[in-house]
Amino acid sequence: MNTGLFIFDTKARSVKEVCAKNGFEVSIYCCGPTVYRDAHVGNLRTFLLGDLIKRTLTFSGIDSRLIQNITDVGHMAEDIAGNEVGGDKLLEQSKLEAKDPFDIARKYEASFHADLAKLNVIPAAAYPRASETIDLMLKLIADLISSNHAYVGSDGCVYFAASTFESYGEISGNRLDSLKPGHRHDSAEDGAKLFHADWALWKAAANRSEMIWDSPWGPGFPGWHIECSAMSLELLEGNVDLHLGGIDLRFPHHENERAQSNSAVGYEVVENWVHGEHLLFEGRKMSKSAGNVVLLSDVIEKGLDPLALRLCFLENRYRGQMDLTWDSLRAADATLDRWRKKMVQWSEQGEVDNKFVSDFCEGTLGDIQQDLDTPRALQQLRRLEKDELISGATKVACFIRVDEIYGLEIARAPKVKAEATPEISDLLEERKRARDSKDFEASDKLRDQLLKLGISIKDSPSGQEWDWI
C-alpha cells in the first residue's frame, strides 16, 4: 500500500516512498533509550522523529504501528569512535547511585515516558524491555547458530560470523574488507572471535553476577544489537517498513541488526532505514564532560513550554545537523504563546472558508510528505498568520487541523500571568534596587530566592522581566 510519504533511505541513499508491505498499516521500529540516565534533548529529537512520521501518516488516513524498545541490559560503554570499551551502562550507573540495576532502569524508563508525555508524543504500540525479551533473543541466537551464521567462541560467548552476511556494510558503507582488525578494542572479545569484525550476540557472565540469565551456552547476557532484531521480527511480524534512529546508530548498531535479522529469515527485513541527524547545543556536541547536556527538565525550569522544543525541532529538517540555543527556545516559546493568544482573538472573526482550509491542509501535508519538510510547511503557517485577506475563523480552523501533525497544542489556552504575591513583589523590588546600585551579589541571591518561589527572571536592557515557572 502506497502512503504518499517520501523519505530518505540511508541504505538506498535516495528518497523513497514509504509503503505498507502488509497492505494495511506502516510498521515502524524506533531504537529507544538506554535507560541509565535521563534522555537529553538530542535523544528527544530522534524520538520526536517517530512521532512526526506517525502523525503525518495518520493525517493522510494511514494506520501505523510503532514499536520502541527500552534498552535496560547489554549496552556497553563506548569510546568516541563507538567501540565497546567499558562495562554495561546500567550496571555502572547502578554502582554510582548505589541502587539495584533494575531500579535504575525503571527510574529512567519512567522519566523517558514522562518526557514523551510532556512533548505530546502519541504513545507507541509497545515499549518492549530488553530484559523481558531474553527468550526471544535466545531463540534467535539458536537459529543463527544452526544456520551457521553464529558460533560459540572459546570464551563461551556467542558471536555472529560477519563474513556469512555478504552485503554487510550497505547501510553505512563500512564494508567488511575495509574494517581493519582492531576496530574494536574489547580485548576479551577479540581473543575468541574467529574474525575481527564478528560481534557478540550473547556474552558469557564471567565475573558478572547481576543482570544475567541462563542460556544453552551458560549464564550470561545479550549483546546490544540482538534485542532490536528479536523485537522487530516478533512485534512487527518480520517486516519493518521504516526503521528509525539517530545517525550514530547507522554503524555498527543498524548494520549488525540488519545482518542478524536478514540472516535469520532469508530476506530484507527493513525497507527504509531513516536516520535523524544529531543535535548540537549552543554550537557544541552535548557531552557530560563538556557539561552542556540539556534535559527537558532544564527547559521547563527556565519557564519555557516543553512544546517550544518541539517547535524548534520542526523548524529544522530532521536530516540536517541542528544547533539548538536558549535564544531559539525562547523565541519558539514566544511564538507558541502568540499563536495561542491569536487563536482566541481569531475565533470571533468571520466565517470559516472550508475550501481554503482543505487546500491549506493539503499544502502542509504535501510539504511534509516530501522528506518531512517541516520548515517549509511552517513558513506557510507563518504566512497565513499574517495574511489579512483570510478570516480569523479560517485561520483558527487551519491551525487546529495542521496541529494534528505538529502536536504543538496550538488551541490550548495562552499563558495567563497570575499576579505576584506581596512577598514576591517586595523581593522583585529589592532585586531591582540591588541591580540599580550594581550589587550583583545581592541581586543573584534574590534571584535564587525568587526561583524557590517559582519565579524566573530575565534581565534585559529595559530592566528585569519575571514570569512564573
| C-alpha–C-alpha distance, residues 300 and 152, integer Å | 49
Among 76, 269, 286, 434, binds ligand AMP (CB under 6 A): 286
Residue 248 binds to ligand AMP (criterion: CB under 6 A): yes
Least distance (Å) from ligand AMP to the CB of residue 221?
17
Which one of ligand AMP, Zn ion, none is in contact with 248 (Cβ closer than 5 to 8 A by kind)? ligand AMP
Backbone angles phi, psi at 451, to 5 degrees: -60, -40
What is the tally of helices (H) and strands (E) in the chain? 15, 17
Which cell numbers hold the place of 379?
Answer: 513558513
Which one of ligand AMP, Zn ion, none is in contact with 34 (Cβ closer than 5 to 8 A by kind)? ligand AMP
| C-alpha–C-alpha distance, residues 416 and 413, integer Å | 8
Residue 254 binds to ligand AMP (criterion: CB under 6 A): no
Among 91, 162, 279, 314, binds ligand AMP (CB under 6 A): 279
Least distance (Å) from Zn ion to the CB of residue 192?
24
| Choice between 62 and 279, CB closer to ligand AMP | 279
Residue 153 binds to ligand AMP (criterion: CB under 6 A): no
168-173: long-range pairs with CB below 8 Å, 24+: 168/197, 168/255, 168/259, 169/255, 170/11, 170/258, 171/10, 171/11, 171/250, 171/251, 171/254, 171/255, 171/258, 171/273, 172/10, 172/250, 172/251, 172/254, 172/255
Among 228, 230, 269, 309, binds Zn ion (CB under 5 A): 228
Give me the amino acid identity at 439.
D
| Choice between 293 and 428, CB closer to ligand AMP | 293
Least distance (Å) from Zn ion to the CB of residue 229?
9
Which one of Zn ion, ligand AMP, none is in contact with 228 (Cβ closer than 5 to 8 A by kind)? Zn ion
Q: Which stretch binds ligand AMP (CB under 6 A): 27-35, 61-69, 172-180, 415-423?
A: 27-35
Which cell numbers hold the place of 97?
Answer: 547511585
Which one of Zn ion, ligand AMP, none is in contact with 431 (Cβ closer than 5 to 8 A by kind)? none
Q: What is the DSSP letter of 316?
A: S
220-232: string of b/e by CB count within 10 Å (b at 16+)? bbbbbbbbbbbbb
Least distance (Å) from ligand AMP to the CB of residue 57?
20
Least distance (Å) from Zn ion to the CB of residue 310?
23
| C-alpha–C-alpha distance, residues 400 and 51, integer Å | 18
Would you give the binding string for ligand AMP spanning residues 31-70, x where CB under 6 A is met? x-xx-------xx-xx------------------------
Q: What is the DSSP letter of 125?
A: S
Least distance (Å) from ligand AMP to the CB of residue 185?
19
Residue with cell 487563536: 343
Q: Is the dihedral of CA 184, 186, 189, 192 positive or negative?
A: positive
Q: Which residues bind ligand AMP (CB under 6 A)?
A: 31, 33-34, 42-43, 45-46, 245-246, 248-249, 276, 278-279, 286
